[in-house]
């Protein structure tokens, strides 16, 4: 096989069997992974590491090639979405049972094994499945020490301090493509995503004058408001739509507030991605809620089908479609 | 009788109430002043968001604050009077925690129930928690300290269960977080009207009880000789206090410490007689919460952060508890010699070695079970196949060994602590050491970005040492009276809870990471660390054995021990340091909440071990057996979920403990 050009930190550069000496390879994978660093000082400079990741294609070096990982487990919904669109669906996923309720699309293969909760994945079960690789983010970094004993870890964090998630998600998808030897598929998906967003922006033109308010209901009195810098905001930006909520939130892309905080918003279309079962009835009796300008201009809140709130590129695309569907349905 | 020593001011609580009212008016003027003219506008005029917020959010919120504060203040005053316990309150007796857990469970399994049954659910939870607290402290005649310790245990237990629910169903229970930290945010008048109605129902029975409760000031015997049915009176007062607190928590969530601080302030301000102090506590409670909420609203205006009022009151209130402790003048400590379980009575038929052998065999059997009986990936039960051993055991034995080491440490620490204090409610979980460790880790989390596990362990150790130092310092004045130290631990645990409440209410996902550590779920057992903890556990046992002579002499009572040449202060410091070190090592392994240190010594006493040395080992083995069993169940019962070991241990342990206490009471 012709020698291929690789990044010096590329996990596949190491000599020897890839999936035997897990410890050594794990540490190499770790060093190479973007925004890695539960263990290293590099975690303090995520932006720098991320920059390095984006520059990966330009820092090339020759090295021997290896078999690609194919049995992959994920500790994160967003990364699992990426695995699915790359055609290597996860063999196991934490909280897999909740996929249909919180993610919806792309469909998770029914054979995917549920690993339990993200903070205490079932290590023995994971070991029995013999994965080649486990995907993790800074959110689940606490469990990496345990997981690393079973399989190498690639940490690809999309939600972190500094910057917004969509570019990081695209970078993570590209990195995953490289890691799995599916560069073409990753690039094709990313290019398709660009075209998709361009088409969506076209579709969104009639709604440019209507600010959108994206909410998630916690209880009848409190909401999460999706805000900058979040995936939801990135999607609105791509569509050319305006977020009616202008203040910044956490790096996860939301702010928690009492419903009365919406009183200052004159005009907006409210879309919710989640509403607990008991909220609607209470909400529609609340005099404040009923008199809010955003409620009076809208009628009862429209609750969208499930879409991952902290997902990957597929979640961004799904959210774009759902927003446009809801806006167009409103006109009819 | 217990009392707070501070020379009560002359002139009663009126000046304090006046001052607080003036302050509330001033803050209210700042908050509302510019908006009040909006009220006089004709309703028909065009929509004005400021006016709507004023009418349907700001004003009802202030009304809600007054109602809740008054209810909690009255509830605290009733509890403190009925129990003759200056630290009694809905927060310290587990009533809040019970309501919180009940509503969490309801939210998860029967979300629709909340539409009409919130109050019933909250009331049920509160009542069960209160009943549990009284069952636990009945053995010690409801003495103030044992009551508060039981309250804390129940609070911790409910908190652990709620935390586990949150971990498993994190996405559903964001509401539990917000509710648990007591947000007063309102969107209409209905909730405050509902609460006012409920409170109004309670007012009449409370006024009927004021006079008889006041007679308790004469002392129980005097009250009884005046023809008072003291027990019935107490139960009535407690029921009313629980009702008041449960209605409040059901309406807005947990608002900690108002019920504790308001009656104490009333007394400090010079309220004499129960009717005055009840009235003053009610008014002070209302004003306190109103002031807190005005401050929060003014602060929230400046920053967009979401800050629930209940979390703020807890944040301010728990240090107040810490500050009050040295001012408690009561001989809280029952002399060890008066302990109803004297040590030197002959132990019965078996030699001291027998229970240790029994426990050792049990431990080995459980270990074998834990290693070999497992769930297959499809969920069915099976025996570990020989072929899989090489693959699976390397992940299983370190975890089991770590659990065993933690059990040894906690069991022996609990034994030492219970012998040392002569208090069978004592347990290392309540010492505050694990709270300190967790606190330090929380700070590392939120300040240092994402620290490495090594940094986290370092932070935990530093936190444990710091807390230990602080507790030693605080209790130096009391001559290291162990009960004082336990109470200081309560205050620290409560403060920790408040901090986590503030963090998690804003929905910061890092709070989940912290929670996972809090329940011991985040621990990674590796062969090296597991072996190291086992060695440390062995060392602690040996050190404990070295101090055993002192401990034996302690059982003769303080005076006797001193006369026999035990350096009381030094002995206490050394024993407590050992307990703290053991707890600090065990905490990262299984989380701060196992109840192993609480239950193991009781089991040992049940087995009839009297001698201290044998008791220490037996207690260590019992703790290890409990945690090994818990670890096995944690891995298997909810497969593929791995439950936190500490949580499962407390789930197994609590019923055992209740049974033990009932048995001993009979």
CA distance A314 to chain B (A): 20
Q: Taking residues B406-433, what's their average pLDDT?
A: 80
Convert the pLDDT of each residue in B30-42 to its tens digit.
877 777 776 666 6
Per-residue H/E/C for B120-182: HHHHHHHHHHHHHHHHHHHHHCCCHHHHHHHHHHHHHHHHHHHHHHHHHCCCCCHHHHHHHCC
B512 closest CB neighbour out of A119, A259, A285: A119
CA distance B329 to chain A (A): 44
B47 closest CB neighbour out of A39, A117, A293: A293
CB spacing of A124 vs B396 below 8 angstroms = yes
Q: What's the pLDDT at B233?
A: 86
Res B55 pLDDT > 70: yes
Cα–Cα dist B84/B4, whole Å: 12
CA distance B589 to chain A (A): 13
- Would an 8 Å CB–CB cutoff place B114 in contact with chain A? yes
Q: Taking residues B499-528, what's their average pLDDT?
A: 66
**Residue A322 C-alpha from the chain's centroid:** 16
Convert the pLDDT of each residue in A133-176 to its tens digit.
999 988 887 788 788 888 899 889 888 888 889 999 999 999 99
Q: What's the pLDDT at B482?
A: 59
Q: Taking residues B237-246, what's their average pLDDT?
A: 91
Contact between B152 and B490 under an 8 Å Cβ cutoff? The reply is yes
Domains of chain B listed by start with CATH number: 59-329 (1.10.3470.10), 350-601+608-665 (1.10.3470.10)
> What are the strands, taking DSSP E only, across A142-246?
153-155, 212-217, 222-226
Backbone angles phi, psi at B489, to 5 degrees: -60, -40
Q: Taking residues B123-144, what's their average pLDDT?
A: 81
CA distance A184 to chain B (A): 34
Read off the DSSP letter of residue A161. S
B47 vs A contacts (CB less than 8 Å): 291, 293, 296
**Count of CB contacts below 8 A, A vs B?**
178
Distances (CA, A) of B289 to A63, A101, A310, B57, B319: 67, 39, 37, 17, 17
- Would an 8 Å CB–CB cutoff place B188 in contact with chain A? yes
Res A189 pLDDT > 90: yes
A113 vs B contacts (CB less than 8 Å): 377, 640
Res A319 pLDDT > 90: yes
Q: What is the dihedral of CA B44, B47, B50, B52, to 10 degrees?
A: 70
The alpha helices in B181-229, defined as continuous H runs, are 190-215, 220-225
B52 closest CB neighbour out of A39, A115, A288: A288
B49 closest CB neighbour out of A128, A252, A264: A264
Q: What is the dihedral of CA B641, B644, B650, B656, to 10 degrees?
A: 50
- Lowest model confidence (mean pLDDT) among B290-294, B450-454, B655-659: B450-454
Res A19 pLDDT > 50: no
Q: Taking residues A314-322, what's their average pLDDT?
A: 93
B48 vs A contacts (CB less than 8 Å): none
Distances (CA, A) of B202 to B69, B76, B227, B241: 15, 14, 25, 9
- Lowest model confidence (mean pLDDT) among A201-205, B178-182, B217-221: B178-182
B516 vs A contacts (CB less than 8 Å): 119-120, 142
What's the pLDDT band for B15 if we cut at 50, 70, 90? confident
Res B98 pLDDT > 50: yes
Q: What's the pLDDT at A170?
A: 93
CB spacing of B188 vs A123 below 8 angstroms = no
HSE toward the beta carbon, residue B507, CA cutoff 13 A: 25
Contact between A228 and A242 under an 8 Å Cβ cutoff? The reply is no
Res A191 pLDDT > 90: yes
Q: What's the pLDDT at B335?
A: 37
Q: What's the pLDDT at B474?
A: 67
Q: What's the pLDDT at A67?
A: 65
pTM exceeding the 0.90 threshold for the entire prediction: no
CA distance A116 to chain B (A): 4
Res A22 pLDDT > 50: no
CA distance A103 to chain B (A): 12
What's the pLDDT band for B453 if we cut at 50, 70, 90? low
What's the pLDDT band for B350 if we cut at 50, 70, 90? low
Res B334 pLDDT > 70: no
Q: What's the pLDDT at A174?
A: 92
Lookup: tokens for B606: 């049940």
CB spacing of B641 vs A121 below 8 angstroms = no
Convert the pLDDT of each residue in B608-636 to its tens digit.
777 788 889 899 999 999 999 988 988 88
Domains of chain A listed by start with CATH number: 4-157 (3.40.50.1980), 206-331 (3.40.50.1980)
CB spacing of B642 vs A121 below 8 angstroms = yes
Tell me the range of A9-13, A235-239, B264-268 where mean pLDDT is highest: A235-239
Q: Which of residues 383-412 of B touch A (CB under 8 A)?
A: 388, 391-392, 394-396
A143 vs B contacts (CB less than 8 Å): 522, 524
- For chain B, give the percent of residues with pLDDT over 90: 10
Q: What's the pLDDT at B646?
A: 77
A260 vs B contacts (CB less than 8 Å): 53, 56-58, 185-187
Cα–Cα dist A241/A244, whole Å: 9
């Amino acid at each position: 096989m012709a020698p291929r050009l690789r990044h010096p930190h590329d996990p596949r550069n190491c000599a020897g069997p890839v999936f035997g000496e897990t410890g050594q390879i794990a540490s190499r994978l770790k060093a190479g992974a973007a925004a890695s660093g539960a263990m290293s000082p590099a975690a303090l400079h995520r932006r720098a590491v991320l920059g390095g990741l984006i520059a990966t294609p330009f820092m090339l070096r020759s090295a021997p090639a290896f078999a690609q990982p194919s049995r992959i487990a994920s500790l994160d919904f967003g990364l699992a979405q990426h695995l699915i669109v790359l055609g290597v669906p996860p063999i196991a996923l934490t909280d897999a049972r909740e996929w249909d309720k919180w993610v919806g699309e792309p469909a998770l293969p029914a054979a995917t094994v549920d690993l339990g909760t993200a903070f205490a994945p079932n290590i023995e079960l994971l070991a029995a499945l013999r994965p080649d690789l486990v995907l993790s983010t800074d959110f689940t970094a606490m469990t990496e020490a345990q997981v690393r004993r079973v399989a190498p870890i690639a940490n690809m964090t999309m939600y972190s301090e500094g910057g917004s998630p969509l570019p990081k998600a695209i970078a993570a998808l590209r990195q995953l493509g490289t890691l799995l030897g599916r560069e073409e598929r990753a690039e094709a998906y990313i290019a398709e995503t660009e075209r998709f967003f361009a088409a969506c922006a076209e579709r969104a033109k009639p709604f440019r004058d209507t600010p959108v308010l994206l909410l998630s209901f916690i209880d009848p009195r409190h909401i999460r408001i999706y805000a900058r810098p979040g995936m939801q905001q990135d999607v609105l930006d791509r569509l050319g739509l305006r977020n009616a909520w202008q203040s910044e939130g956490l790096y996860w892309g939301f702010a928690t507030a009492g419903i009365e905080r919406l009183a200052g918003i004159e005009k907006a279309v409210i879309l919710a991605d989640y509403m607990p079962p008991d909220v609607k009835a209470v909400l529609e009796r609340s005099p404040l809620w009923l008199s809010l300008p955003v409620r009076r201009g809208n009628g009862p809140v429209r609750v969208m089908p499930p879409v991952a709130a902290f997902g990957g590129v597929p979640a961004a695309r799904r959210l774009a479609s759902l927003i446009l569907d809801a806006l167009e349905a409103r006109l009819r | 009788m217990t009392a707070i020593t501070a020379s009560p001011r002359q002139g009663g609580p009126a000046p304090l109430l006046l001052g607080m009212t003036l302050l509330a008016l001033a803050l209210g003027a700042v908050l509302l002043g510019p908006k009040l003219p909006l009220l006089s506008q004709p309703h028909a005029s065009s929509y004005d968001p400021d006016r709507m917020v004023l009418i349907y959010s700001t004003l009802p919120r202030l009304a809600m604050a007054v109602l809740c504060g008054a209810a909690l203040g009255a509830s605290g005053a009733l509890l403190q009077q009925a129990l003759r316990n200056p630290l009694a309150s809905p927060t310290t007796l587990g009533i809040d925690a019970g309501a919180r857990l009940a509503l969490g469970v309801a939210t998860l399994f029967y979300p629709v129930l909340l539409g009409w049954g919130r109050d019933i659910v909250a009331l049920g939870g509160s009542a069960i928690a209160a009943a549990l607290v009284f069952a636990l402290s009945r053995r010690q005649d409801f003495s103030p300290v044992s009551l508060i310790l039981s309250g804390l245990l129940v609070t911790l237990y409910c908190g652990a269960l709620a935390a586990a629910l949150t971990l498993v169903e994190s996405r559903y229970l964001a509401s539990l977080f917000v509710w648990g930290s007591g947000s007063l945010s309102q969107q209409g008048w209905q909730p405050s009207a509902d609460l006012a109605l409920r409170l109004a129902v309670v007012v009449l029975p409370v006024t009927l009880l004021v006079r008889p409760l006041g007679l308790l000031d004469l002392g129980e015997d005097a009250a009884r000789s005046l023809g008072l049915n003291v027990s019935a009176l107490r139960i009535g007062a407690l029921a009313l206090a629980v009702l008041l607190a449960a209605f409040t928590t059901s309406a807005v969530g947990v608002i900690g410490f108002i019920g504790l601080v308001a009656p104490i302030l009333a007394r400090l301000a010079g309220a004499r007689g129960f009717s005055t102090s009840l009235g003053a506590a009610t008014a002070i409670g209302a004003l306190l919460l109103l002031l807190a909420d005005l401050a929060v609203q003014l602060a929230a205006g400046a920053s967009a952060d979401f800050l629930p009022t209940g979390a703020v009151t807890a944040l301010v209130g728990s240090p107040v508890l810490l500050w009050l402790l040295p001012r408690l003048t009561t001989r809280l400590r029952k002399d060890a010699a008066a302990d109803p379980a004297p040590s030197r009575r002959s132990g019965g038929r078996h030699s001291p070695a027998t229970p240790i052998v029994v426990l050792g065999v049990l431990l080995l059997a459980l270990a074998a079970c834990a290693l070999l009986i497992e769930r297959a990936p499809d969920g069915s039960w099976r025996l570990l196949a020989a072929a899989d051993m090489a693959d699976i055991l390397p992940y299983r034995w370190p975890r089991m060994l770590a659990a065993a080491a933690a059990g040894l440490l906690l069991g022996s620490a609990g034994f030492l602590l219970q012998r040392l204090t002569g208090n069978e409610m004592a347990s290392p979980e309540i010492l505050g050491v694990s709270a300190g460790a967790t606190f330090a880790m929380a700070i590392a989390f939120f300040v240092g970005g994402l620290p490495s596990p090594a940094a986290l362990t370092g932070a935990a150790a530093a936190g444990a040492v710091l807390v230990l130092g602080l507790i030693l310092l605080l209790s130096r004045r009391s001559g290291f009276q162990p009960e004082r130290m336990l109470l200081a631990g309560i205050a620290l645990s409560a403060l920790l809870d408040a901090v986590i409440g503030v963090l998690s209410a804003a929905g910061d996902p890092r709070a989940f990471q912290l929670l996972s550590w809090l329940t011991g779920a985040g621990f990674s057992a590796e062969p090296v660390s597991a072996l190291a903890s086992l060695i440390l556990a062995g060392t602690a046992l040996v050190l404990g054995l070295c101090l055993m002579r002192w401990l034996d002499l302690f059982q003769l009572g303080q005076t006797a021990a001193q006369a026999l040449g035990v350096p009381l202060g030094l002995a206490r410091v050394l024993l407590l340091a050992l307990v703290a070190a053991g707890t600090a090592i065990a905490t990262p392994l299984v989380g701060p909440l196992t109840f192993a240190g609480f239950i193991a010594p009781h089991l040992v006493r049940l087995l009839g071990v009297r001698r201290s040395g044998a008791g220490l080992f037996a207690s260590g083995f019992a703790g290890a057996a409990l945690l090994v069993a818990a670890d096995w169940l944690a891995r298997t019962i909810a497969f593929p979920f791995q439950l936190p070991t500490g949580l499962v241990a407390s789930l197994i342990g609590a019923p055992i403990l209740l049974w033990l206490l009932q048995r001993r009471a009979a």
